Amino acid sequence: MNMGKVAAVILVLVAFAAGMQFGKKTGGSAPLVTSTSGGAAYSGSTAGKATEEEVAAAKEMMLTGSSKFVAGPPMSDVVVTVNDGESIQAAVQAAEPGTTIHVMPGSYNETVYIDKDGIRLIGIVQGSERATMDGGGTLNDAILFSGNNIVVEGFLITKYKGNAIMSQAGNNYEIRDNIIVDTGVYGIFPQLGKNGVVEHNVISGIEDAAIYVGMSDNVHVAFNEVFDSVAGIEIENSRHAIVESNFVYNNTGGVLAFITPGLPIKTTYDVIIRNNWISNNNTPNFGAPGSTVGGIPAGTGIMVMAADDVVVEGNIITNNKTVGIMSVDHNTAAQLTNVTVDPEADPNSDGLKILNNTMHNNGYETIDEIKGLMLADFKTGNPDIFVIGPTTDSCIINRHRYVHSGIDDWPECGFTNTSTIANYLLPPVAPRVIEPGERGKIAYLGVCAGCHTYEGRMIGPPVKIIQALYMDNPHGLAEYIAAPVKKREDYPEMPPQDYLDEDTRLAVAEYMLSVKR
């Protein structure tokens, strides 16, 4: 971060402290203590666009405590077994929709792509032995699926360069009980899907996000262990997500909820982050230079950026050297980091609700930018909570428990817990049907938007740069998509997308070259 920019920001804040809503330092009066025993419960965000039928179905699941099996029962009783030395992809290609594929312990050096509905890909665990997908440091992706009602579980996945498991626009997916080590950019990456579960996975050594939920709805991320990565768990441009009961440690940043500017979906809202252990996220940032997560300060427990209606409750947040919880708007982030501003997205984090959390020994080595901005708020100490930027409808309970900056004007929340919301999952929703004319758009949203925004930097170059290079040559871009070569030292090598058929590659090339913001 640029200290010259920080000094300028501090001067502005000092001059216009009231307009920035930082508030005044509180006096010595007794704090307002709010008991969480028997208190009112949060009823959920009002920002969503769920139908009455979806709301009723979700409430029924909450009341019954339904288990998280959103893919539904097996669509057929056909079971195929893949043994060590055989090909998983060959079994997938030969399978009818609805087939269960058991993969026996052994070593599998391949990429698996599932474009059929109802496939259940189950790694069989025998004692300490698992079906191990090993990319050997040369393959890009382990398991990709665009089908609906997919289950992937029980694998050990390691040494890939791109993704371990990526969902590409499929609905009703379950990804559980996988061990993922050193698989490149993302560990588990559901993109553009609805109704998904990511649970009981162990993920480490990821260059961007261990679990990255992108442009998705109704997702439950629970009981995962994520460590030694840049971002632990990331909810990006997504809605109706719960992140709970995860062990998140030794990352650069623990749990993130934000809007990445420049993506086609412009909102993140209705996110609950609760009952997680978020500790010691002090790993030096080794993300791609210039990427969004590449700007996260090491030592960040929870970060909210431009996301709305985020509830933070019941977490143990300890020993994160920069800050326990940080909330920032896009405009401030753009002054201090490489984040761009999207004129079509609301830049502010509104409706942040901080309930009781156990916080200790955070901010003990915070960055100079936060120190300076805290001084502008007439605050000192090691920050548990740091908020900068305009916000409306945000609230907190028991603020006296934390060292904080930027929240003095926040009212007390009218509730103390989220006990009435078990999850935001739905009974199996309708499979996504891709009409012929939408093939390019859905492929772009489900695949390309994971690395390319319209004009800001993400993992790959912006779409605007790609348009300038290939505007009159969609066939050339389609060929590059299938067999890319590294062209720029300041970006990582693009993985080949040759699993997409020729017509789809051309359709996505034509769409990318025609899209406007």
Q: What are the structure tokens assigned to 63, written together?
A: 């009341």
- List the chain domain ranges: 1-62+271-433, 438-514
Q: 147 near 171, Cβ under 8 Å?
A: no
Q: What is the pLDDT of residue 62?
A: 45
What pLDDT does residue 52 have? 62
Distance, in Å, from the CA atom of 263 to the CA atom of 397, rounded to the nearest integer, reads 34
Q: How far apart are CA 104 and CA 187, in angstroms?
A: 22
- DSSP for residue 401: G
Pick the CATH number of 438-514 from 1.10.760.10, 3.40.190.170, 2.40.50.140, 3.40.50.2300: 1.10.760.10
CA dist., res. 397 & res. 414, Å (int): 9
Contact of 48 with 422, CB cutoff 8 Å: no
State the Cα–Cα distance between residues 233 and 254, nearest whole angstrom. Answer: 6
Q: Which helix (H) or strand (E) holds 58?
A: helix 52-64
User: How many Å from the N-terminal Cα to the C-terminal Cα in the chain?
Assistant: 27
The predicted pLDDT at position 17 comes to 40
Q: Which residues contact 247 (CB under 8 A, 6 or more apart)?
A: 224, 225, 226, 227, 276, 277
Q: Which residues of 455-486 are buried (b: 16+ CB within 10 A; e: fewer)?
A: ebbbbbbbbbebbeebeeebeebbebbeeeee
Coil, strand, or helix at residue 382?
coil
Handedness of CA 422, 428, 434, 435 (dihedral sign): negative
Helix (H, G, I), strand (E, B) or coil at 318: strand
CA-CA distance, 373 to 376, in Å (whole number)? 5
- pLDDT score, position 8: 44
Torsion from C-alpha of 328, 332, 337, 339, nearest 10 degrees: 80
Parallel, antiparallel, or unpaired: how do β-strands 173-176 and 269-274 relate?
Answer: unpaired
pLDDT of residue 9: 45
Per-residue pLDDT of the chain in tens (517 residues, 90 and over written 9) = 444 444 444 443 443 343 433 333 444 567 777 666 667 888 777 655 455 665 565 555 443 444 578 999 999 999 999 999 999 999 999 999 999 999 999 999 999 999 999 999 999 999 999 999 999 999 999 999 999 999 999 999 999 999 999 998 999 999 999 999 999 999 999 999 999 999 999 999 999 999 999 999 999 999 999 999 999 999 999 999 999 999 999 999 999 999 988 888 999 999 999 999 999 999 999 987 777 788 899 999 999 999 999 999 999 999 999 999 999 998 888 776 667 788 888 999 999 999 999 999 999 999 999 999 999 889 999 999 999 999 999 999 999 999 999 999 999 999 999 999 989 999 899 988 777 777 777 777 777 777 887 777 777 888 888 888 888 888 878 888 888 888 777 777 787 888 888 888 887 888 788 888 6
Q: Give me the sign of the Cα torsion angle 464, 2, 207, 488.
A: positive
438: helix, strand or coil: helix
Distance CA 274, CA 152 (A): 25
User: With 0-12 CB in 10 A as exposed, 13-18 as middle and 19+ as buried, what is 209?
Assistant: buried
Q: Are strands 131-134 and 106-108 parallel, antiparallel or unpaired?
A: parallel
- The confidence score (pLDDT) of residue 370 equals 93
Query: SS3 sequence, 59-101?
Result: HHHHHHCCCCCCCCCCCCCCEEEECCCCCHHHHHHHCCCCCEE
pLDDT value at position 291?
76
Nearest alpha carbon to residue 32 among 417, 418, 413, 419:
413
DSSP 8-state secondary structure symbol assigned to residue 496: P
Q: Give the pTM.
A: 0.86
Query: Residue 6: enclosing H or E segment and its boundaries?
Result: helix 3-15
Closest CA to 103 of 78, 117, 84: 84
